[in-house]
Amino acid sequence: MKHLLTLEQLSKEELLDILNLADQLKFQKKNGIPHELLKGKTLGMIFQKSSTRTRVSFEVGMHELGGQALFLSSRDLQIGRGEPIQDTARVLSRYLDGIMIRTFEQKEVEDLAKYGSIPVVNALTDYCHPCQVLADLMTIREFKGAFEGLKCCYIGDGNNMANSIIVGVLRLGMKMSIACPKRYEPDAHILEFAKEFPGMFEMTEDPLVAAKDADVLFTDVWASMGQESEKAEREKIFKGIYQINDSVMAVAKPDAMVQHCLPAHREEEITNKVFEEHADEIFEEAENRLHAQKAVLVKLMA
């Protein structure tokens, strides 16, 4: 593994390898065991989309691994003023040991990896969110003990989160069901990927069908960053239907867990009641961003 650009690039064995290391690093942190595996290394963090969890988890992660992180907003970089990404990639490769980028277009991440000579981590694009889903998978195993035999369900917009969840869940041998409105389906490339797993993937417009007997329920906001102009239109389509609520929980397994990548718009994609009933799982998932990303950084940069 030279980069983490998408989850599709990872085999089942590579996914499990990252998750196993994440568990080990979490244990070491909880028990005060030093793990400065990236001592003297520097990670450049390019943010064209702002974030709470991404910035804090990567910055703290690098510190705990003995390295340092540089926050680079688009306002601070010449790419914000028209410098080609390939030039930025070649310059930063001479200063840094790795690059993390959170941006809009997947092509920007791919170009950074293509023209640079250091590892690149995709911390989110409009196409996918691999780091978040690694944390989700880590959390599922913590609460459920294993992946085999589980059914996961995603309700809402077929966005970057849905794209990565489908890949991670299917790759690890779980069943995947998604409920989304027409015109808001996951990326066509992801739906092609799902065809490689016959009998393991289902897509419907009915959340109650998707959630039946689910062990794990996912959702995300109806309008992601950059889609603010679509918010009113999306609310008309999603409101009252594409929500994790008591009706959805009633058809899932009695011990079903809930995951949300945050920030959550309570009473939109998830009710406040369900959110609070599953807050322990949701905030463990948020914490696991730190541990999963540290594992990725160690795999790429150590």
CA 222 to chain centre: 16
Structure tokens at 285: 């998932």
pLDDT of residue 2: 97
* Residue 228 and residue 268 in one domain: yes
Count of domains for the chain: 2
* Residue 157 and residue 20 in one domain: no
* Residue 52 and residue 198 in one domain: no
**N residues, the chain:** 302
Q: Is 129 annotated as a binding residue?
A: yes
Closest CA to 158 of 122, 116, 203, 212: 203
Region for residue 18 given its phi and psi (left: phi exceeds 0; alpha: psi -120 to 50; beta: otherwise): alpha
* Residue 193 and residue 68 in one domain: no
Sheet with 68-73: strands ordered across: 68-73, 42-47, 98-102, 120-124
The number of beta carbons lying within 10 Å of the beta carbon of residue 291 is 26
* Residue 183 and residue 275 in one domain: yes
* Residue 82 and residue 39 in one domain: yes
Alpha-carbon distances, residue 247 vs 212, 256, 285 (angstroms): 11, 13, 23
Q: Is 17 annotated as a binding residue?
A: no
pLDDT of residue 82: 72
Catalytic residues: 102, 129, 132, 220, 261, 289
Q: Is 262 annotated as a binding residue?
A: yes
DSSP state of 187: P
Structure tokens at 66: 């003995």
Q: Is 243 annotated as a binding residue?
A: no
* Residue 192 and residue 114 in one domain: no
pLDDT of residue 80: 59
* Residue 86 and residue 225 in one domain: no
Q: Is 125 annotated as a binding residue?
A: no
DSSP per-residue codes, 264-302: --BTTTB-HHHHHHTHHHHHHHHHHHHHHHHHHHHHHH-
Range of the domain at 224: 132-287
* Residue 153 and residue 124 in one domain: no
Stretches in the chain below the pLDDT threshold 50: none
Q: Is 90 annotated as a binding residue?
A: no
* Residue 250 and residue 111 in one domain: no
Q: What is the CATH number of the domain that holds 23?
A: 3.40.50.1370
* Residue 224 and residue 105 in one domain: no
pLDDT, one tens digit per residue, over 257-295 is 999 999 999 999 999 999 999 999 999 999 999 999 999
How many Å apart are CA 10 and CA 20, to the nearest integer? 15
How many Å apart are CA 227 and CA 247, to the nearest integer? 28
* Residue 75 and residue 151 in one domain: no
